[in-house]
Amino acid sequence: MIKPDERKAIYCLHKKGINISDLSGQFEVDQKTVRTIIEQKGEMPTTRRRDKKEVDLEVLTEVYNDCEGWAERIHEKLTEEKGIDIGYSTLTRLLREEGIGKKKNQRCGRVDDVPGEEMQHDTTIYNRKIGDKKIRFVASILYFRYSKVRYLKFYRSFNRFDMKSFLHEALSFYGYCAKTCIIDNTNLARLQGSGTGKNAVIVPEMEEFARRYGFKFACHRLKHANRKAGNERSFYTVESNFFPGRNFKDLEDLNEQGLDWATVRFFNRPVSKTKLIPAKAFEFENPYLVKIPPYIHPPYIVLERKCDQYGYVHVDGNFFWVPGKDRFKAKVLKYPDQIKIYKNREFLIEYDLPAIEVKNEKFSPKGQSEPIYQPAYRKKSSANEEKKLRAVCQEIDDYLNFATKSMGKEKHRFIRKLYALYKKVNKSLFVKIIKRALTYRITNINTVESIASLIMKSENYHLPFVDIDTEYVNRDAYIEGCFNDDVDFSVYDDLLEEDE
Say if residue 51's pLDDT is above 80: no
Contact 341, 353 (CB under 8 A): no
Encode pLDDT of 346-367 as tens digits: 999 999 999 888 888 899 998 8
Q: Region 76-80: what's the mean pLDDT?
A: 86
Encode pLDDT of 362-408 as tens digits: 999 988 888 888 887 777 778 889 999 999 999 999 999 998 887 87
Distance from C-alpha of 377 to C-alpha of 314, rounded to nearest angstrom: 10
Catalogue the long-range contacts made by 139-142 (C-beta closer than 8 Å, 24 or more residues apart): 139/235, 139/238, 140/166, 141/231, 141/234, 141/235, 141/238, 141/262, 142/166, 142/167, 142/170, 142/171
Domain boundaries defined on the chain:
4-39, 57-98, 118-291, 301-363, 380-500
Neighbouring residues of 209: CB distance < 8 A, sequence distance ≥ 6: 164, 167, 299
Distance from C-alpha of 222 to C-alpha of 196, rounded to nearest angstrom: 6
User: Greater confidence, 48 or 466?
Assistant: 466
- Distances in Å between the Cα of 479 and the Cα atoms of 463, 472, 473 are 31, 9, 7
Distance from C-alpha of 87 to C-alpha of 91, rounded to nearest angstrom: 6
pTM of the model: 0.62
Secondary structure (DSSP) of 56-75: -HHHHHHHHHHTTT-HHHHH
Encode pLDDT of 121-172 as tens digits: 999 999 999 988 888 999 999 999 999 999 999 999 999 999 999 999 999 9
Q: Which fold has domain 118-291?
A: Nucleotidyltransferase; domain 5 (3.30.420)
Q: Region 162-187: what's the mean pLDDT?
A: 92
Residue 292 pLDDT level (bands cut at 50, 70, 90): very high
Neighbouring residues of 180: CB distance < 8 A, sequence distance ≥ 6: 117, 118, 119, 215, 216, 217, 218
